[in-house]
Structure 1
Amino acid sequence: MDLELRHLKTIRAIADAGSLTKAASLLGLAQPALSAQLKRIERTLGGQLFERGRYGVRTTPLGQLVLGRARVVLPAVHQLQEEALRFARCQEQLPGFRVGATHGPLLGGLVDRLAAAYPGAPVTTRMSWSERQIAASVADGRLDYALIGTCGESPPPEPDRLTWREVARDPIFVMLAHDHPLAGAPEIELAELAGASWTDVPGDGCFADCFAAACARAGFAPSRVYETDTASCVHLVQVGRAVGLCRATFPPTPGMVTRPLAGTPLTWRHLVGWHPGALAADTATAVVGHVRAAHTEAAARSDSYARWLGTDRAPQAGAPATAVPRPAPRSRGFHNAGQGVN
């Protein structure tokens, strides 16, 4: 058997985890399969790499040698892959737009505008509930742009490798069935929904923690939260099974309404990110402009958002003119980390 990169990754995973059981879980393998693989690797390298004990594993002198080399080789190969991908992208004749996005109302508008502005240029998309996964793909050269969101003032992922621009920020609204008792209210106190079940889409930040904190300040804890895809969230709201959380730009949908929360306890920032050393940096300003235009169009389609913007929540001084203005604070907001909302 020839030694391969995946074998070095296995050795590193075992050493980092400190036990075969933990390493197997991280690698998605059964422990017997990992043990058998380790034995094959050890035969290839000529000796035992780990001493197995009651409390886990410990590297042998040979294991320390191999592990030291692995910690040099693996990052070097990863860097080579990143550079090769970027170099290959730079050789293309047409500008390409590989956009990764989490769930939200802006991706369709961006694709439409890019296709109109750059006829013949390839535009491809990739969706994920994970902001971190999208950002890592851009940093590694597998995508050109990340279109994601974060809760409040929380920083976006990969801050050291990517350039980020804020496009706009929205208040978080609630989705209610059209016949909900509060559906006709101009805005809703969070405490008025104390007995409700809730629904939201998943994310890898802590929007859920911010929401729980907001509920605690309102004097209750959510009895039930359904985490599911956007279509299922809408269905649960339409049939009256739950109340949903959404960005204010959520499009009009039959059978339900969106309403602002009094005091704006939760806000959401729309962000575009790219690698500063990639070809995408050349068209980043144009892409940001297209996303801002898509956001403006999405906001205009929401009657409830238009009414909200027309109340006493005036733009704060110095708010970016290209973004929907952030509301003047009427109570303490939550500006921690991010998780997806519809």
Structure 2
Amino acid sequence: MELEVRHLRVLCAIADTGSLHKAARQLGMSQPSLTTQLRRIEHALGGQLFTRERTGCRPTPLGRVVLSRARPLVTEMRALVSETKAAAARAVEGPQLRIGSTASRAIPGWLRKLRGRLPGTEISLQMDVSANALLRMVAAGQLDVAFVHEVEGCPLRLPETLRRRVLLDREPQFISLAADHPAADRPVVRLSELAEDRWMVDPTVDGEWDGLRRVLIAAGLNPRVLHGDYHTAASLVATGEVVALCQPTSRARADMAVRPLHGDPLGVRLLVAARTEDELNAVYGELDAAYWEAAGQSPAYTEWLLQAGETRGTPGETRGTPDGTLVPATR
């Protein structure tokens, strides 16, 4: 048996997911077929590449050696194929810009600004809850740029071939709760005031559950937790069924309040990634402007930004623009 790129792709998928089941699903094949494939590869190389443990699959020393050579080859082959297809498509259809993003209130403004500056460019958007999945798609040439968030304490796996730029080093996470919740009367909510509430978190968002769990444990809380998606969460929050973390740019509603948490216990880093600096430069300015435009439309976040500039010893950290939006004083 001669090793091919598809075999190396199998090894990388198993290592990245840490599970034969997840790797099979990612590759679009059955787990038994993947197991058979792995055995053939190990037989061809003359040694075991992964050990199965209760927590998943881990590379053996031999597996780590093979993976160190396999990953660059797989990445380069994906990029070659994707970039060739993209170049062929652009030659026929004209310029394209393929954007990937995790959820953000800045997206509509970003797209609007890009379309205004790039008339004639076909701009597509792919949303995903997994920042790591989007970064892999950029590395593989399936997307041109990705705007993602990295939960504090849960670093993303940024492919070595990508360039990145940090939009905001730490964005605080706020709490959304029913408008008639007792804590909603306060400008800032303490975690202890939510000790009896049921929390909702989307475990498919990279790092989200781990980050929240760490914060709750540090606060000495062990609340009931409901796993679900954040579209459903908004409805449940409004009826008082749950409370949930939210982005500070989220807007309050008549039936739902958005408040900062005392001490800002959890934050995320916002970053944009692309394969080249030119691709970053092509989109960053519009994203930066769109983010601060969205920030200025959230009263709770606007107040937090102003207070942060005063209480953290950095007066002028934010400044207002003529239209009332907020932008950083220095970049």
Shared fold per TM-score greater than 0.5: yes
SS in structure 1 at match of 2:253: coil
C-alpha spacing 1:113/1:267, structure 2 compared with 1 (3 Å): same
* Residue number in structure 2 paired with 1:272: 272
What is the Cα deviation at residue 272 of structure 1?
A: 0.7
- Residues 239, 73 of structure 1: alpha-carbon distance in 2 compared, 3 angstrom cutoff: closer
Aligned to 2:281: 285
Asked whether the equivalents of residues 176 and 258 of structure 1 are also in contact (C-alpha less than 8 Å), the reply is yes
CA RMSD of aligned residues (A): 4.0
Cα distance in 2 for partners of 1:183, 1:238 equals: 12
Q: Which residue of the partner structure matches residue 256 of structure 2?
A: 256
**Pairing 1:78-93 to 2, within 5 Å after superposition:** 79-89=76-86, 92=90
Specify the alignment match of 1:60 in structure 2.
Answer: none
- When residues 7 and 131 of structure 1 are mapped into structure 2, their CA distance, relative to the original with a 3 A threshold, is closer
What corresponds to 1:247 in structure 2? 247
From the superposition, tell whether residues 146 and 74 of structure 1 become closer, same or farther in structure 2 (CA, over 3 Å).
Answer: closer
Structure 2 unmatched ranges of 5 or more: 53-64, 320-325
Q: Structure 2 vs 1, CA of residues 123 and 316 (structure 1 numbering), >3 Å: closer, same or farther?
A: farther
Aligned pair partner of 1:27 in 12, 24, 29:
24
* Residues 1-342 of structure 1 mapped to structure 2, 5 A cutoff: 23=20, 26-28=23-25, 76=73, 79-89=76-86, 92=90, 94-152=94-152, 155-168=155-168, 169-221=170-222, 223-276=223-276, 281-311=277-307, 313-314=309-310, 317=314
- TM-score, structure 1 normalization: 0.71
Look up the equivalent residue of 1:250 and give its one-letter code. Answer: S
Q: d(CA) in 2 for partners of 1:170 and 1:33?
A: 43
In structure 2, how many angstroms separate the alpha carbons of the residues matched to 1:318 and 1:205? 34
| Aligned counterparts of 2:318 and 2:101: Cα–Cα separation in 1 | 24
Instruction: Show CA shifts across 1:15-49 (max 9, x none).
Output: 99xxxxx857742566666688899x89xxxx999
Letter in 2 for 1:298: A
Residues 147-177 of structure 1 show CA distances to partners (whole Å, capped at 9, x for unaligned) of 1001237644325221111112421110011
Q: 1:249 Cα deviation (Å)? A: 0.7
1-side partners of 2:306 and 2:68: how far apart?
A: 57
CA distance in 2 between counterparts of 1:304 and 1:8 reads 49
Q: Hey, what's the Cα distance between the residues in 2 that align with 1:33 and 1:217?
A: 43
- 1:170·1:249 contact (CA, 8 Å) conserved in 2? no
C-alpha deviation, 1:219, in angstroms = 2.3
Bigger Rg, structure 1 or 2: 1
Task: Give the residue type in structure 2 aligned to 1:253.
Answer: R
Q: TM-score, normalised by structure 2?
A: 0.73
Report Cα offsets for 1:270-324 as digits up to 9, x if no partner.
1111012xxxx42422411111111111111111112222336536549987996
Structure 1 Cα separation of the partners of residues 283 and 165 of structure 2: 11
**Equivalent position amino acid for 1:195 in 2:** E
Report the 3-state secondary structure (helix = DSSP H, G, I; strand = E; otherwise coil) of the residue aligned with 1:183: helix
Distance 1:318 1:303, change over 3 A: closer
Change (3 A) 1:140 1:259: same
Q: Does the CA contact (< 8 Å) of 1:188 and 1:259 recur in 2? A: yes
Gaps of at least 5 residues in structure 1 are 17-21, 57-67, 327-342
Whichever residue aligns with residue 85 of structure 1, its letter is S
Task: Say how many residue pairs are matched.
Answer: 296
Alpha-carbon distance in 2 for matches of 1:229, 1:193 = 20
Structure 1 letter corresponding to 2:294: A
Deviations 1:29-86 (A, max 9, x none): 66666688899x89xxxx99999xxx99xxxxxxxxxxx9999899646523412433
Q: Which has more helix, going by share of residues?
A: 2
Deviations 1:85-112 (A, max 9, x none): 3355457365421111112212222111
State how far apart, in whole Å, the 2-side matches of 1:111 and 1:71 are: 38
The change in CA–CA distance for 1:80 and 1:268 in structure 2 (over 3 A counts) is closer
**Percent of aligned pairs with the same amino acid:** 30
Output the amino acid matched with 1:135. Answer: L
* Alpha carbons 1:9, 1:70 under 8 Å: kept: no
Quote how far apart the aligned CAs of 1:226 are.
Answer: 2.4
**CA distance 1:151–1:49, shift in 2 (3 Å):** closer
Q: Spell out, residue by residue over 1:226-273, the C-alpha distance to the aligned partner (whole angstroms, 9 max, x if none).
A: 232222010110110001101111133341010111111111221111
